[in-house]
Structure 1
Amino acid sequence: MNYEFVVLPMGAVDSPAQVRAYVRTQDGQPVNEQLHRFVVTGLHLWNSRVPAAYRHAELHIEAAGDSVRITAADRADRRRHRGSAVDSAADAVRRLLEGLIGDLEYQLYDAATDTLWRPR
C-alpha cells in the first residue's frame, strides 16, 4: 500500500468519489503550465534531495492536464528497507503539497482518508 494524493483544480469535482474519474479524463493531455512550474517542479526537487540510501522514499509523480497524482512509500516499505525515513511520509508529503498549492486555485485529495480539501 502507498499513500496517494491528487492535486486538482478547485471545483473540478464535487466529491472525493469523482477524483479518479477526473484524473482519467486528464490522461494524455499536456500538463498545465502553472502545475508544472509550481507543483511538479517542487516534487522533483523533493526527489532530488532524497539520499541515495533512501531512494525507496522518492515520490512517484504522474502529471497530466490539470491534475498531479503523487504516491509515496508507506510504513510497510520500512520492513524491506530498515529505515525510519518513510515512517511519516504521508504527513511530510501532505505538508509539502499544501505548501506548493497554497497560493494556487487547487485542492488536494488524500486517498487514505478519502478527503478532498483546499489547503490554507
Structure 2
Amino acid sequence: MTENKYPLVSYILLALLIIIWGVSWPIYKHGVQFMPPLLFAGIRSFIAGTLLFLFAWKLRHHIRFKKHWKLYVISAILNNVLYLGLQTVGMIYLPGGLFSVLVYIQPVILGILS
C-alpha cells in the first residue's frame, strides 16, 4: 500500500470534484429547457470528449485503439448514448436535486443488492 504524500491536496481535489459535480445538475436542468435533451447530452459529451482527447493524446500508444476499437465503441454506446442520453431525458420530468440523488444512489443500491 502506498502512502499519500499530499493528503490535503487529495481532499481539496475531492471537494472540488464534488462541488463541480453537484453544481452541474442545476445547469443541466436549465440547459434542457433550451434544446432537446439528447442533443444537449450529445453536445455535453462532445465537449468533454474533446477535452479528454487533448489530455489523452500523449498516451495514445498505450490505448491501442486498433486492437480494442470494438470495446471502445460498445463502451461509448452504453455510457454516452444510453446512460447519459436517457439520464438527460429524465431531467425533464424531475427536479434537478431529486434526479441527481436518484442517479447517484444507483451504485449504492447495486452494491447492496450484489
Q: TM-score, length-normalised on structure 2?
A: 0.26
Q: Which has the larger radius of gyration?
A: 2
